Structures are given as C-alpha cells and as structure tokens.
Amino acid sequence: MRRIARRLPDQGRSTTLGRVTGIGAPMRPLSLVLTLSCLLPASMAWAERIDLPTPVSRVVLYPQGASVSRSASFTAAPGQHQLVIPDMPPGTDPASLRIEAKGVTLGSVELQSSRALPDHAPDAPAITEAKTALRRAEDALRAFDRSQTALATRAEALRQRAQITRDLLQGDSRLPTGEIAGTVEQMGALIENLLTQADEQEYQIAMNEPDRPPLTEAIDRARAELDALREEGAGAEALVLTVQTASESQAEITITGFTDQAGWQPDYDLRLDRAADTLTMQRGVSVWQSSGQDWRDVTLTLSTARPQSQSAPTEVQPWMPRVGRPEEELARARGAQADMAMESAYAPAPVVEAMPVSAGEMSRLGVTVIYDYAAPVTIRDGADSLRLTLDEKPLTPEIFAEAAPRFDTSAFLMAETVNSTGEPILPGPVTLYADGALVGRSGIELVADGDKLRFGFGPIDGLRAEIRLPEETEGDSGIIRRSSTLTESATLIVENLTGEDWPLRVVDRVPVSRQEELQIDWSADPEPSETDPDGRRGVVYWENPITAGELREITLTTELSWPEGNDLLR
C-alpha cells in the first residue's frame, strides 16, 4: 500500500516522490554514464508507458463524504513500466489517495495537474462507448437516407422510362394502319405500369419519412452524451505510477480516495393496515454526490460511520470557582467588556469563513452499520438526490385513538410499537400511510434496537373532543394572580360518531409544584389509568375503549394555594 502525503503545487507543476537532481548536483563523467547504460538489461533501460483508464468501481458512502475506489488490470512484461491513469477527478487531494498494487512492485507516484494529458492517451471507457453510440446513430441515419434516395432514384427512373416510351410512340409513323390500335394499347399499358411503380416508390418514401426524426434525435442525444463526458473529463488530472516486475505477470492497481462532496440520508414509508393489524416500514435512502465525475454502475455500500465527525471525547478543562462580592465582580466584568469593545473598534474587521452545509444531519452510533446495495448504481455528478429502495421491515403495532381535548377538537389515529428490526433506525423523513391513503409527512429520530416508536396517522373526524370550564374561582382577576388560591374544574368530553368501537386514550395535564410554598391538590372522576407516563410529570392518561355513539365525560378538578403576598405566575 502506497500513501501519497504531499499536496500538489499549482501552475502546471507536479508532485512526485522521486529524487530530483537540480543545479549544483555533481556532474558524472560522460563515459561512466554511457558505461552504466550499456550494462543495463534492455528491459530495464527503457520504461514502457501503459495508459490505463480506471473508472470508479466501488463507493462506500457515508452520511457526509465517500470513499471512492477505482481499479484496473493489465499485463506487465519484465522490467520497469510507467502507468498513466488519465481520469482522476479535478481537485484530487494526493494526501487522501491510497494505492494498492498486486503483481508488481510500486515505485514513485506522481499526480499531474493543470497540464495536458499525453496525445496518445486512450479515451476513458465511457467516452469510447459514447463515441460508438454516436457512430451507430449516424450510421443508422445514413442507411435510412440511402434507402430513401434509392427509392427516389427508382421512381425517377421509372418516370423517365415512361416518358421515353411515350416519345417513341409519338414519333413512330411507320406503323401499318392495322397495327396502330394494338400498338397504342400495348404501349399505353406499359406506360401505365411504369408510372404506377413510380407512384408506389414515392408513396413508400412518404411512408418512411416519419421514421427520420427519431434517428436525428438519437444522434443529438448521443452527441450531447459525448459532449457531457468530454466536459466532465476536461479538468481531469493524471496519476503517473512507476512499477517494476521481474517476470511477465497479470497485475492489478487499486486507487482509493476520499471526497466530502457526497452523502446519504435514510427515507422511510410507514404503512399502517388496521384490518390486518400490521405496520410496515419501507426503508430507502437518498444519495447524492458532486465529486466532479459521474459514478457509473458502481458497487455501493452505505455506512453509518462519520469520518469527518468528532472521533474522541471532549477534553474536560479544570473548573476553578471563586467567591467575591457580586457588585465588584459585575463592575470588573463591565470594565473588561468596555476594554474589549475599545480594542475591537480599532481592530480590522475579522474575516468570517462560511461553514460547510451538510446534506443531512445524522446521529453518531456506537457501532457502525453497513448496508450493501444489491444492484449496481449510477449516481450522476451534481444531479438531484437519487432515491434507492433498501428493504421492508414488519413491526407489531398497538393501534388506538388518542384525544387531547384541552388542545384538539378531534382524536387522532395512533400506532405505538417497538423497534424489532435488530438494528438501529436512523434519523430521516417519514411518509405516513393509513389503510393505503397518504396522511402526512413526519420525521424520526435515532431509535435504538428495542426502543419504542410512536406515530400519528391523522385525525379521526368522527371522534370529537371538547373541554368545558364551567367554573374558575379566584380572588383578584388579572394575568398575574394575586389571590392565595385558584380552583379550576374542567370537563373533558369525547363523543364517538364513527359507527365503530375504538380503543381510546384521553390525555390531559395537572399542575406540578416545584416550590414548597405552592400547594397543589387535584382529583379526577373517573380516576386516570396512568400518571406521569414515561417520566412526563403532570401528564395523565385515561385508557378505555369507547363504543359507537358513546359520549364520555371526565371531570378534572385542580386547586392551587400559596402564601399571602406572593404571585402566581403561569
């Protein structure tokens, strides 16, 4: 494995790991140089140049960035060879390249930039294929035009023969009187037959003419494809490798680099089927890249690793608290701020660098998850995100209706489940379907294996919710409460007009005190099924099925009291 660790200079120069002899190097006698060159074997005296296009073959895509591998095989004769790889993307960072050689010994490595490639360098396979496609399209058009021309020539020849026959008939006055009628009939039939054949040829030309525009369009598409590929490779750089082999062998070169102009993000479809009591998660990904080259038919691996993110914990600095008078500390802080403001008034304006924009944020996982995409993938440079389908995961849901009468006027269709996929569910957008109908878009955070999932699938219009506050008593009125007590009695109402029974959860809240002076008492009729679910203090649940046509009422009374002279802020 060879690692290039030096960045290229600009202005058409190249970076190499070879030794350079410049001005001031000791001169060796010419005779010694000639003697050494004569002693070298023929295979070592001259390095064979091998032009070796290496298209991208494998990509490991991260949430931000990608590891891009390209490889090629060749047959190497004994001796030293110079491999020219002309299709490296523009802006290649030599420090990020890793080169692996099999069957040969790798020597110096040089990346050429801002200079023309050798004239005899072969075209990249994609360009060769595009040229072949253009040639086929042009040949098809030429064959069509030749066929049409042949038909037109045939029609013209038939009409000329008919005209010659007519001229001969008009100019021949030596026919006996008794033969004129028969001759005219015979010649007329011949002329009619010739003109009929000419009409058929012209009719065939007219019938074939609609087939010509698709042929010209195919040429335009092939030419546009070739132009796009040439434009893509216009700024390409060349990698020049020196390799050595002792005997003829089959060799392989693999080059791996990294680009931060690529990424992927999960995308989910959640399909709830109430009749089957199932919840299906269809997983896909959106991928994108702007590396400077198209990736055609590559083997794609999706990784949750984040090579560019924080790789070590934050170093904890010492904490050295101090005590003092708050007034003195405040005055000292104001004086320091004034000094800094005066210094900044005379200092040059700082240059603020733009922060890179990420295609999508993903939470870091303790264990990297790898997805190998089954089929070859083509991802165009700079194109819109490409969505790929991964798989489906069945989940076992608990389906019910949930109403929050204090805030909503209807109940909502809900599904709760557990991540039983055997792997984390990564953050991403979610499209929600209920019984085959699209009901909305949402998002999902990182969900570990075995953790809970909860999704809402839209309102249930026939399941109405309402809150009534028939009584609220206090001392003085106003935004800031100045009385010592506050009592509120609320009635939560849910009415089922859907014509079917529903598992129902009614959700509300009661106040929670964080001060000893503030005393809170509350009561409910009926009693709630659960309080403080999942650690959410003050939240209460009532869970009971509601039948079709049923009207359910829940009374919730709260009383707050505090010492005189204090205010209630809420």
Encode pLDDT of 146-198 as tens digits: 999 999 999 999 989 888 888 777 765 565 666 656 676 777 888 888 899 99
Distance CA 351, CA 330 (A): 31
Q: Determine which helix (DSSP H) or strand (DSSP E) holds 195, and give its type and residue range.
A: helix 180-208
Percentage of the chain beyond pLDDT 70 is: 74
What does the radius of gyration of the chain's CA atoms come to, in whole angstroms? 42
Q: Which of 154-168, 467-481, 483-497 has the lowest mean pLDDT?
A: 467-481
Distance CA 259, CA 61 (A): 10
Res. 437: pLDDT tops 50: yes
Taken in order 89, 90, 96, 102, the sign of the CA dihedral is: positive
pLDDT tens digits for 78-123? 888 888 887 788 777 777 889 898 888 888 888 877 554 554 555 6
Unique residue bearing structure tokens 């699209």: 438
Q: Which of 347-356, 364-373, 432-441 has the lowest mean pLDDT?
A: 347-356
In 157-291, at which residue ranges do the beta strands (DSSP E only) sit?
237-245, 249-259, 262-273, 278-289
Q: Which of 200-209, 246-255, 276-285 has the lowest mean pLDDT?
A: 246-255
Model pTM score: 0.60
Which pLDDT score, from 0 to 100, does residue 176 have?
63
Unique residue bearing structure tokens 């005209």: 163
Res. 545: pLDDT tops 80: yes
Res. 564: pLDDT tops 90: no
pLDDT tens digits for 316-335? 877 766 655 666 666 666 76
Distance CA 265, CA 427 (A): 8
What angle, rounded to 10 degrees, do the helices at 125-171 and 180-208 form?
160
Three-state DSSP class for residue 141? helix
Res. 41: pLDDT tops 70: no
Q: Kindly state the tokens that stand for 382.
A: 């700079």
Which pLDDT score, from 0 to 100, does residue 335 have?
67
- Measured between alpha carbons, how far is residue 476 from residues 472, 484, 485, 562 in Å? 12, 9, 10, 14
Closest CA to 235 of 117, 344, 343: 117
CB contact set of 406 (below 8 Å; sequence gap of 6+): 467, 490, 492, 508, 509
**Mean predicted confidence (pLDDT) in 383-401:** 90
Closest CA to 490 of 402, 407, 401: 407
Mean pLDDT, rounded, of the chain: 79
Three-state DSSP class for residue 346? helix
Res. 410: pLDDT tops 90: yes
Closest CA to 101 of 244, 315, 272: 244
Which pLDDT score, from 0 to 100, does residue 349 have?
38
Unique residue bearing structure tokens 């010419």: 30
Res. 356: pLDDT tops 90: no
β-strands 249-259, 98-102 pairing = antiparallel
Which pLDDT score, from 0 to 100, does residue 407 have?
94
Distance CA 239, CA 70 (A): 12
Q: Which fold has domain 454-561?
A: Immunoglobulin-like (2.60.40)
Contact yes or no for 249/103 (Cβ under 8 A): yes
**Mean predicted confidence (pLDDT) in 11-36:** 36
Which pLDDT score, from 0 to 100, does residue 329 have?
60
pLDDT tens digits for 218-273? 999 999 888 877 766 555 678 888 888 888 888 899 999 998 899 999 999 999 99
Contact yes or no for 306/365 (Cβ under 8 A): no
Distance CA 543, CA 522 (A): 19
**Mean predicted confidence (pLDDT) in 41-57:** 68
Residue 381 φ/ψ, nearest 5 degrees:
-70, 130
Res. 43: pLDDT tops 60: no
Unique residue bearing structure tokens 């100045």: 482
Distance CA 100, CA 558 (A): 74
Unique residue bearing structure tokens 């990564």: 426
CB contact set of 379 (below 8 Å; sequence gap of 6+): 59, 287, 288, 289, 294, 295, 298, 300, 386
Res. 506: pLDDT tops 50: yes
Q: Which of 208-217, 476-485, 538-547 has the lowest mean pLDDT?
A: 476-485
Res. 482: pLDDT tops 50: no
- Domain residue extents for the chain: 127-230, 454-561
In 26-95, at which residue ranges do the beta strands (DSSP E only) sit?
48-51, 56-61, 66-76, 79-88
- DSSP class of residue 350 equals P
Q: How far apart are the first and last CA of the chain?
A: 67
**Mean predicted confidence (pLDDT) in 201-230:** 90
Residue 497 φ/ψ, nearest 5 degrees:
-115, 20
Closest CA to 412 of 362, 345, 458: 458
- DSSP class of residue 73 equals E
Which pLDDT score, from 0 to 100, does residue 246 have?
85
Residue 441 φ/ψ, nearest 5 degrees:
-120, 145
Closest CA to 109 of 117, 120, 101: 101
Residue 467 φ/ψ, nearest 5 degrees:
-125, 135
356 preceded by a cis bond (ω within 30 of 0)? no
Which pLDDT score, from 0 to 100, does residue 180 have?
59
Res. 2: pLDDT tops 70: no
More confident residue, 72 or 416: 416
Work out the number of other CB atoms within 10 angstroms of the CB of residue 92. 22
Which pLDDT score, from 0 to 100, does residue 122 have?
59
